[in-house]
Amino acid sequence: MADAREVELAVLRIAHGGVAVAELDGRVVFVADTLPGERVLARITDDRHDRFWRADAVRVLEPSPDRVPHVWAAAAVDRAPEHRAGGAEFGHIAPARQRSLKEEVLRDALGRIGGLSPDAIAALDPHVHAVPGREDGTRSRTRVRLHVDRSGRVGPYAARSKRVVPVEDLPLAVEALERLLPERARGRELDLVAAGGDAFAAGPRDARPPVVEHVGERAFRLEALGFWQVHPAAPEVLSRAVRAAADPALLDPDADNLDLYGGVGLLAAALAGDGDVRVTTVESDAAASAHAAENLRDLPRARAVRARVDAFLADDRRERPGATVLLDPPRSGAGADVVTAISASRPAQIVYVACDPVALARDLGTFAGLGWRPATLEAFDLFPNTHHLEAVARLVPAG
């Protein structure tokens, strides 16, 4: 970067990753902290690439009618970009517009990366649904990871950097976590967690006893710093979405149904229903798998297997006629090997839970090449004020 020059940009559309797209002298510019329809003064931060540059908005010249005061002052555009807190990149956008922009990204990914035709996308008609909680999306995180700089100051990283931004509030976190926010801490990271009716701060090496979360009338035991959905409404929302996505006409309770990347058994329990559905949940983390076995112990037809999903599928190459395969892979997606193995088992339907639209689209494209098509797709705004979303798709054999 030769210099941090500033340019005026007319913002055209949204892109994956929480940035918008503008053009300058025929070159694409990915610009942060703006939204389509605005004209902004932006500072070029990366001009090393021939095809695109990156920039940060530093002043809004012509605001969109969908721009609102940022829900987190520490992340607002009136701060210098290097001092803006990361993790709330859509916080300046009206909630309904946030969801419509996420829909645009999802639809674009399905076509450009997943290879779905415009007619197929139109038939799916995917929407990003609001979920229970505050309309502005604040107080929607029960787990927050903060970082500690060399002087002990605590805060998130600035966007797209490893620079710690000390903050005095955490409006996206539930109130109990904001009250725990320290000015200084030791170590390199600090997790703030609200779980099991308690709230605590812990470093990555701190030992904490397991906690218990409740979803409806069911209790789920998990490690205090283990994986659990961040939004307070997410476990119930996703459980209902999985039950709605699985076609009951194709869900054979006696088939060899699978829950892959199963964690502590949340979605396996959703698939199992009242316990009459046979389901095996597969999880590589030892503690989570042990908790899954305990959490599902009252469901006589459920079992938990500790294994890497790819290894489990490679070792167990049986066909599963009539089965429902549920998977909730990490943000990077399942990948071609896992997708191929699932397809080879010949299930009746596949229910795919995704937290990244590009990874979802990539895997759907792989499934399509193996003879599968998405029959339904719904998305949920479980990460308000960010570009993230959660989606649930059902796939069936094509033709």
Q: Which sequence positions are flagged as catalytic?
A: 355
Per-residue HEC secondary structure of 72-98 comes to CHHHCCCCCHHHCECCCCCCCECHHHH
Distances, alpha carbon 366 to alpha carbons 282, 344, 363, in Å? 22, 13, 5
CA distance 209 to 146: 21
Structure tokens at 303: 């079992």
Cβ atoms of residues 282 and 262 within 8 Å: yes
CA dihedral 28, 1, 55, 381 (to 10 degrees): 100
Residue type, 168: E
CA angle 213, 216, 220 (to 5 degrees): 30
Residue with tokens 């290097």, as numbered in its chain: 82
Cβ atoms of residues 393 and 125 within 8 Å: no
CA distance 313 to 209: 32
349 is in an annotated binding site: no
Cβ atoms of residues 13 and 19 within 8 Å: no
Q: What are phi and psi of 230, to 5 degrees?
A: -80, -40
CA torsion sign for 379, 380, 383, 385 is positive
Structure tokens at 10: 């007319």
CA distance 18 to 369: 29
Return the H-helix or E-strand segment holding 44: strand 39-46
CA distance 104 to 248: 30
DSSP 163-201: -B---S--TTB-HHHHTT--SB-SSSEEEEEEETTEEEE
261 is in an annotated binding site: yes
352 is in an annotated binding site: no
CA distance 350 to 327: 8
Cβ atoms of residues 181 and 167 within 8 Å: yes
229 is in an annotated binding site: yes
**Which parts are annotated binding residues for S-adenosyl-L-methionine?**
229, 261, 283, 328
Question: Which residues line the annotated binding site?
Answer: 229, 261, 283, 328
